[in-house]
Amino acid sequence: MSELIPPTVNHTTHPAHTHTNDRELVRYSDEDLAEFREIIEKKLEATRKELAYYQDQIKRFADDAESKMTGQESGAGTLEKEYLNQMAARQTQFIKNLENALIRIKNKTYGICRVTSKLIPKDRLRAVPHATLSIEGKNMEKRNPTINGGV
pTM: 0.75
* CB-based contact 114:132 (threshold 8 Å): yes
Q: How far apart are CA 147 and CA 151, in angstroms?
A: 9
Using CB atoms within 10 A of its CB, is residue 120 exposed (0-12), middle (13-18) or buried (19+)? buried
Mean pLDDT, rounded, of the chain: 82
What's the pLDDT tens digit per position in 79-124? 888 999 999 999 999 999 999 999 999 999 999 999 999 999 999 9
Which residues are within 8 A (CB) of 7 and not within 5 positions of it... i.e. 6 or more apart?
16
Average pLDDT over residues 37-62: 95
Which residues are within 8 A (CB) of 144 and not within 5 positions of it... i.e. 6 or more apart?
150
Q: How far apart are CA 123 and CA 105, in angstroms?
A: 17
Q: Is residue 70 predicted with pLDDT exceeding 60?
A: no
